[in-house]
Amino acid sequence: MGCSNHPEHHFIQQDICSWETEERFDFILAWDSLFHLPLAMQQPVITKLCRLLAKGGVLIYTFGNAQGEHTDQWHNNTFYYSSIGINENIQLLISSGLSILHLELDQYPERHVYTIATKL
């Protein structure tokens, strides 16, 4: 699936750490992606996503509830992940003007969290 299969949609492929735009979005979904960013980029990128959200827009994203940087094994590959944890993610969303609609550890006992928030 991509641009040629859905010409009526606008797809953007950029590095979220450096990408800038004046556009505002009604819906942003970042599932199983942001926690692969370096720890130092967690706060700036989440803040950016909040800023890119239009008023009344919805942000859904996943993160880990274990603070810090980690590596793990999956299908015989080592992968990196990081998180600022649940409390800091929630504080960041609220301070950015978002309201938390849902927060869930959806793979308990795994440390996988997702949240749904809206811009007031």
Query: From the CB of residue 28, how many other CB atoms can be counted at a distance below 10 Å?
Result: 18
User: Which amino acid appears at position 8 of this protein?
Assistant: E
Structure tokens at 109: 């006992």
Question: What CA–CA distance (Å, rounded) separates 88 from 5?
Answer: 39
Q: pLDDT 10s per residue in the chain (120 long)?
A: 556 788 888 888 899 999 999 999 999 999 999 999 999 999 999 999 999 999 999 999 999 998 999 998 989 999 899 999 999 999 999 999 999 999 999 988 888 999 999 999
How many Cβ atoms from other residues are within 10 Å of residue 97's Cβ?
14
CA angle 118, 82, 117 (to 5 degrees): 5
CATH classification (class only), 25-119: alpha beta
